[in-house]
A and B are shown apart, each in its own frame.
Chain A
Amino acid sequence: MFQDSSTRLIALIAILVIAAGTAVGCYRQPVSARAADAAGFQKLVGGLGFGSSVELSTCAVQFDPRLGVTCNAHTGPIPAGSLLCPGCGRFLFSFYPWSFENLTGSSATRHVPAP
């Protein structure tokens, strides 16, 4: 009967919502185990990896900002220039590459001429 179908539809939607809520609320990747393994890996490599890239060719800075100061492919200040960068423009977790001036204490640097 249509009335039954209508009621069943509401029930189905309620079940879907509850299932989605339960899945989000209860399901977690085993964070602690993964965190321990990840920490062990980082100890071996001295802390490496940070961004949304797993290799260096696209954008070393997006792999790890410790590896690069400026981004060669960064095409600002063209309007929306950063969107043209296949590295920075692509990812949802990306950080603006540092310019040298961004680094704390850079004013304290001095040229160190070779003897």
Chain B
Amino acid sequence: MSPLLSIARTGSAAILLSPLRSAVTVLAVIAVLVPYLVGIGLVEGLRQEARIAIGAGTPAGEELLPDLYVAANQFGRRVPIPVNLAEPIGKFDGVTRVVPRIVGRITLGKENVEAVLVGMPREELHRQGSTIQQLTRLVDGELPGSRHGEGPQLVIGSGLARKLNLEVGAVLPPIFRSGGGEKTPRVTGIFQSDISLWQSRMILTTFESAADIFGQQELATDLLVFCRHGQPEAIRLRILQSIPGPSTERATSLQPSVTSRADLESLLPAGLGHREGVFNLLFVVAFAVGILVILVTSGFGLSGRRREIGILKATGWQTDEILVRSLAESVLLGLASAAIAILVALVWLEWLNGFWIAGIFLAGVETQPAFQVPYVLAAQPAALAALVACLLVTTGSAYSTWRAAVTSPAEAMR
């Protein structure tokens, strides 16, 4: 066997000779790597879901999601847009249809559970619903608006259903009064937990019901504009230049803002490379802390380690051979730590559904998420984790080993 291989094999013996130190080192590296891998996995999963949410990659001509989102700004703040602007926009050449939408925030129950209330026109809901092959894969129950004359019909997210103990057919406490008296909202469906994370706290109802709930008639949060292929940019310009302002008794002016799919697609890499994000900073801090921890654990049994190196030198080992031994030990510990960290991260994301840790990275998520946590753990971050682990362990133990290795055997063994 080559001398180098023989020496490198003693690295594994060195691990067994200091089991406590080795175990603490591995645990320290795992503690640093697992949150990193889980976070990176969640980012990739989120990215995929976000692309779907904006219809990125939709084949040309397929009208799956709106091409433009038209909202209003006043004094630089987002304000509701009048619904009656849908008609003039709908007449623009290239526009196939305009759909008003309400997206707002409400609270439910005694615990004031946060929810996102979304109101879509009844016709649009059923139009889209009819294009979905297996609606039961999305909703356990019926879409809202299927029964006329009744109170508000709601499809609620899986998280809300669990939090408020609601089932299909359940009745919510009245949440508004209208000219027609109190209307009792009824749950007609519950979103399946594995279709999207954003359904978790969502309530989907008809536009009319949402308007009643918020007490805002003739207003929408935004107008969803569907365009023919190749038309969105031209239509966007036309909207910005020529839509009439609202007709009200007081002089008011609204500035329209138009968001396109391309705008949203450009946000994706910006979001992931968000320099002010704490994640990279946290990880750098964790890396530094990890090195310190390993430096400290290297100090545990340092005198024993020094003596051991002194004995090796006294019996004819050279300094570089001792360093190779230490490097082999560090690489083995690093690889073991990285492999365990990857497996732990995968188990945590898949089988434990991101228990507790998903709530650290995602807002509004319970300790046990009520939806299937999206994640993708790719080869690149896994390989990076292995490299980081080896670097961590090597850096943490390099100095103490080098100091002992260059010391004379007599002094090292003192």
Whether A and B touch (Cβ < 8 Å) is answered with yes
Give A contacts to B, CB under 8 Å: 2, 5-7, 9-10, 12-13, 16-17, 19-21, 23-25, 27-29, 31, 34-35, 37-60, 62-70, 82-83, 87-96, 100, 103-106, 108-115
A9–B77 CA distance with the chains assembled, in angstroms: 62
Q: What are the 9 closest A-B residue pairs judged by CB atoms, nearest first?
A: A49-B198, A112-B245, A92-B279, A95-B271, A55-B364, A16-B339, A82-B276, A53-B363, A20-B339
Interface centre among B99, B128, B271 (most CB of A within 10 A): B271
Number of interface residues of B (CB under 8 A): 122
Residues of A near B338 (CB, < 8 A) are 17, 20
What sequence of 0s and 1s flags, for each residue 361-373 of chain B, a beta carbon within 8 Å of any chain A beta carbon? 1111100000110
**Is the pair A70, B376 in contact by a Cβ cutoff of 8 Å?**
no
What sequence of 0s and 1s flags, for each residue 113-142 of chain B, a beta carbon within 8 Å of any chain A beta carbon? 011101010001100110110010110000
**Is the pair B256, A45 in contact by a Cβ cutoff of 8 Å?**
no
What sequence of 0s and 1s flags, for each residue 176-204 of chain B, a beta carbon within 8 Å of any chain A beta carbon? 00000000000000011011111111101
CB distance from B132 to the nearest CB of A (A): 5
A45–B200 CA distance with the chains assembled, in angstroms: 13
44-60 of chain B: CB within 8 A of chain A: 45-50, 52-55
A103–B263 CA distance with the chains assembled, in angstroms: 8
Q: List 18 A-B contacts (CB under 8 A).
A: A2-B16, A6-B12, A17-B335, A17-B339, A27-B346, A37-B138, A41-B196, A45-B204, A56-B114, A57-B105, A60-B105, A67-B221, A91-B278, A91-B362, A105-B236, A110-B240, A112-B246, A114-B253
**Is the pair A48, B195 in contact by a Cβ cutoff of 8 Å?**
no
Residues of A near B312 (CB, < 8 A) are none
Contact of A96 among B118, B200, B251, B270 (CB under 8 A): B270
A21–B65 CA distance with the chains assembled, in angstroms: 37
A105–B260 CA distance with the chains assembled, in angstroms: 11
**Is the pair B53, A50 in contact by a Cβ cutoff of 8 Å?**
yes
Residues of B near A38 (CB, < 8 A) are 49, 52-53, 195-196
Stretch at the interface among B297-305, B377-385, B393-401: B377-385
- Select from chain A the residue with minimum beta-carbon distance to B226: A46
A53–B248 CA distance with the chains assembled, in angstroms: 36
CB distance from A29 to the nearest CB of B (A): 7
**Is the pair B276, A88 in contact by a Cβ cutoff of 8 Å?**
yes
**Is the pair B363, A91 in contact by a Cβ cutoff of 8 Å?**
yes
**Is the pair B382, A24 in contact by a Cβ cutoff of 8 Å?**
yes
Counting CB contacts under 8 A, is B274 at the interface? yes
CB distance from B54 to the nearest CB of A (A): 6
**Is the pair A110, B39 in contact by a Cβ cutoff of 8 Å?**
no
79-138 of chain B: CB within 8 A of chain A: 99, 101, 103-105, 114-116, 118, 120, 124-125, 128-129, 131-132, 135, 137-138
Stretch at the interface among B66-74, B164-172, B211-219, B406-414: B66-74
**Is the pair A20, B342 in contact by a Cβ cutoff of 8 Å?**
yes
**Is the pair A19, B69 in contact by a Cβ cutoff of 8 Å?**
no
**Is the pair B65, A43 in contact by a Cβ cutoff of 8 Å?**
yes
A9–B24 CA distance with the chains assembled, in angstroms: 17
**Is the pair B364, A42 in contact by a Cβ cutoff of 8 Å?**
no
Residues of A near B103 (CB, < 8 A) are 48, 64, 67
Residues of A near B42 (CB, < 8 A) are 52, 92-93
Contact of B245 among A6, A12, A115 (CB under 8 A): A115
Interface centre among A13, A21, A83 (most CB of B within 10 A): A13
**Is the pair A9, B240 in contact by a Cβ cutoff of 8 Å?**
no
**Is the pair A42, B339 in contact by a Cβ cutoff of 8 Å?**
no
**Is the pair B251, A50 in contact by a Cβ cutoff of 8 Å?**
no
A111–B335 CA distance with the chains assembled, in angstroms: 62
CB distance from A62 to the nearest CB of B (A): 7
Residues of A near B151 (CB, < 8 A) are none
**Is the pair A13, B335 in contact by a Cβ cutoff of 8 Å?**
yes
A24–B48 CA distance with the chains assembled, in angstroms: 17
Residues of B near A94 (CB, < 8 A) are 271, 274, 277
Counting CB contacts under 8 A, is B43 at the interface? yes
CB distance from A97 to the nearest CB of B (A): 10
Residues of A near B253 (CB, < 8 A) are 111-114
CB distance from B145 to the nearest CB of A (A): 12
CB distance from B40 to the nearest CB of A (A): 8
Residues of A near B47 (CB, < 8 A) are 93
Contact of A49 among B9, B129, B197, B274 (CB under 8 A): B197
Known A-B contacts A43-B132, A66-B264; A109 and B138 likewise in contact (beta carbons under 8 Å): no
Interface centre among A9, A44, A92, A100 (most CB of B within 10 A): A92
